[in-house]
C-alpha cells in the first residue's frame, strides 16, 4: 500500500485539514456533510484514515468514511502528543497536526485497531454513563458545600438535590431500558450481577463494554480499562509501577467502587487481605482486587456462566 493511502485529518469545529501522505500539501475543507462526502468521492477505495478524537466534532467524518468503505482509526491523543515530542516538533498548527497524524498512521497502522462504529443504543449508553457521573458529582459537591453552612438549610437547596436525585434515577432507568432491548446484553448483565460486589450499574456498564468490543483475552480487557501496570526498568534499576489509566475513567471508578464493596464480603475478603498482609496499601490491594473482578467478568461472559464463590475461595486458599 502506497503512502497516498494513509490519510491524516486534523478536525476543528468548522474545518478539516487533510494530509494525504506525510509530505504532501495539506488540503483544507469545511467540516460539513456535503463537503466531506464530496471529498470522499475523490478518494480511491480502501484508504486508511486517521483522525484525533475531538469530543463529537470528528464523528461526522468517521460515519461518512466508514460508510464509504474506508478503514478509520481514532488514535489516543496522548500517543500523538508523545509521538510529536519524539520527533522534536517545536510548532503546532492544524497543518502540521494533519501531517503528523498521517505519518503516525503510515508507520504504526499495524499496531492500531480500526474504529468500530457503535450503534445508536451503544452511543446513547456511553453518553449516559458519563452524564450520570457528572450529575452525581454535582449532587455530592452541593451537599458538601452546604454541609458547613451555619444557616438553616435553604428550601431551594433541598429542591435542587431532589431534582438531581430524580435525574439520576431517570438516567438509571433509561440505561436499564437500553440493556433490556438487547437480549444478549441483558443476559450478560444478569451473569455479571451474580458477582459479589457488583451492583446493577457496574454489571450493566461492564456488560456493555465487553459486548461492545472484542477482546483477545482477559489481559486485553484489563488494558482496555487502564488497570494494566506500566513497567519501568533499565539495567539493574527497577522503577515504581503505575497504572496506565488508558481506558474510560468512569469504568475504572465504578470497578474500584465495586472492589471496595467486594473486599468486605466473605467471598473476596481473604483475597484482599492476602495482599494487605504482604504490606501493600489499601489502595494497591483494591486495585489488584478490581483487576481480579475484571478478569472474572471477562471469563464469565466468555463461557456464559454465573459467578461461583467456591472457585474464588479456592483461589484465595491456593493462589
Q: Report phi then psi at 253, rounded to 5.
A: -65, -45
For residue 34, pLDDT over 70 is answered with yes
**Cβ pair 101, 80 in contact under 8 A:** yes
Q: For residue 280, what are the contacts with CB-CB under 8 A and spacing of at least 6? A: 288
Whether 67 shows a pLDDT value over 60: the answer reads yes
Rounded CA gap, 209 and 256, in Å? 16
Residue 312: all three cell numbers together: 474464588
Cα–Cα distance between 219 and 217 in angstroms, integer?
A: 5
Sign (positive or negative) of CA dihedral 240, 230, 56, 13: positive
What is the model's pLDDT at position 1? 45
Quick one: which of 38, 29, 34, 35 has its CA closest to 10? 29
Cell 460539513: give the residue: 32
pLDDT tens digits for 258-307?
A: 999 999 999 999 999 999 999 999 999 999 999 999 999 999 999 999 99
CA dist., res. 277 & res. 90, Å (int): 49
Break the chain down into helix, strand, coil percent, rounded to 5: 60, 10, 30
Distance CA 253, CA 125 (A): 17
**Model pLDDT for residues 97-141, shown as the tens digit of each residue:** 999 999 999 999 998 989 988 888 998 998 899 899 999 999 999
What distance in Å separates the CA atoms of residue 225 and residue 164, rounded to the nearest whole number? 28
Average pLDDT over residues 175-184: 93
Q: How far is it, in rounded angstroms, from Cα 262 to Cα 269?
A: 7
Do the Cβ atoms of 201 and 194 come closer than 8 Å?
A: no
Instruction: Say how many Å lie between the first and final Cα of the chain, rounded.
Output: 49
Which helix (H) or strand (E) segment holds residue 229: the answer is strand 229-230
Short-list 127, 128, 118, CA closest to 173: 128
Mean pLDDT score of the chain? 89
The position carrying cell 474500584 is: 256
Amino acid at each position: 500500500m502506497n503512502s497516498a493511502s494513509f490519510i491524516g485529518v486534523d478536525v476543528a469545529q468548522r474545518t478539516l485539514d487533510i494530509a494525504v501522505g506525510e509530505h504532501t500539501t495539506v488540503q483544507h475543507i469545511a467540516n460539513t456533510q456535503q463537503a466531506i462526502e464530496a471529498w470522499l468521492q475523490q478518494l480511491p477505495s480502501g484508504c486508511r484514515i486517521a483522525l484525533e478524537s475531538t469530543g463529537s466534532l470528528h464523528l461526522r467524518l468517521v460515519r461518512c468514511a466508514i460508510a464509504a468503505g474506508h478503514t478509520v482509526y481514532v488514535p489516543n491523543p496522548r500517543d500523538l502528543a508523545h509521538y510529536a515530542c519524539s520527533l522534536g516538533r517545536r510548532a503546532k498548527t492544524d497543518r502540521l497536526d494533519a501531517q503528523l497524524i498521517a505519518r503516525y498512521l503510515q508507520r504504526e497502522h499495524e499496531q492500531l485497531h480500526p474504529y468500530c462504529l457503535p450503534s445508536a443504543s451503544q452511543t446513547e449508553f456511553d453518553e449516559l454513563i458519563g452524564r450520570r457521573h457528572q450529575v452525581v458529582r454535582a449532587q455530592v459537591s452541593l451537599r458538601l458545600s452546604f454541609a458547613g453552612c451555619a444557616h438553616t438549610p435553604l428550601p431551594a437547596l433541598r429542591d435542587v438535590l431532589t431534582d438531581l436525585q430524580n435525574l439520576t434515577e431517570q438516567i438509571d432507568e433509561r440505561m436499564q431500558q437500553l440493556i433490556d432491548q438487547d437480549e444478549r446484553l441483558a443476559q450478560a448483565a444478569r451473569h455479571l450481577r451474580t458477582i459479589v460486589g457488583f451492583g446493577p450499574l457496574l454489571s450493566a456498564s461492564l456488560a456493555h463494554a465487553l459486548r461492545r468490543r472484542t477482546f483477545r483475552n482477559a489481559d486485553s480487557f484489563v488494558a482496555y480499562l487502564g488497570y494494566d501496570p506500566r513497567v519501568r526498568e533499565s539495567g539493574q534499576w527497577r522503577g515504581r509501577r503505575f497504572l496506565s489509566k488508558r481506558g474510560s475513567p468512569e469504568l475504572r471508578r465504578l470497578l474500584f467502587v465495586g472492589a471496595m464493596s467486594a473486599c468486605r464480603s466473605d467471598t473476596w475478603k481473604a483475597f484482599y487481605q492476602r495482599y494487605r498482609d504482604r504490606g501493600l496499601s489499601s489502595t494497591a490491594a483494591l486495585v489488584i482486587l478490581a483487576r481480579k473482578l475484571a478478569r472474572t467478568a471477562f471469563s464469565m461472559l466468555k463461557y456464559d456462566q454465573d459467578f461461583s464463590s467456591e472457585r474464588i475461595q479456592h483461589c484465595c486458599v491456593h493462589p
